Amino acid sequence: MSINKFIKASKKLDFIRKMPPLKNREKEEKYDPNKSEVIDWILKHKEAGEYIFEIVNGKDKRREKLIKYDSENGMWVGVDYEGE
């Protein structure tokens, strides 16, 4: 009996299992996330944004909170935001 060594991916990311063939970079070029077809495709899906939001807002108590809700103005803000 083999032991599964992977952490189960979030259901919100299941759409990625059906990703078509895409390039992450051209063979001759250095990796540039701004030119990645893979990143563009993933970020076009609402589920990816929802997943990232859950990670950064501290909903999962095992993760560091990176944004917080400001109930005075009804907006989310980075925990280290110092204002303009």
pLDDT tens across 12-44, in order?
999 999 999 999 998 889 999 999 999 999 999
69 in helix, strand or coil?
strand
- Determine the structural domain holding residue 56 and report its residue range: 11-17+32-78
Which carries the bigger pLDDT value, residue 5 or residue 31?
Answer: 31
Q: What does each C-alpha distance from 10 to 1, 15, 19, 57 come to in angstroms?
A: 25, 10, 16, 16
> Is residue 70 in some structural domain?
yes
> Is residue 64 in some structural domain?
yes
pLDDT of residue 2: 58
> Is residue 56 in some structural domain?
yes
> Is residue 1 in some structural domain?
no
Q: Is the pLDDT of residue 1 over 60?
A: no
With pLDDT > 70 as the criterion, what percentage of the chain qualifies? 95
pTM of the model: 0.74
Q: How many domains does the chain have?
A: 1
Alpha helix positions (H), 21-72: 37-43, 46-56
> Is residue 52 in some structural domain?
yes
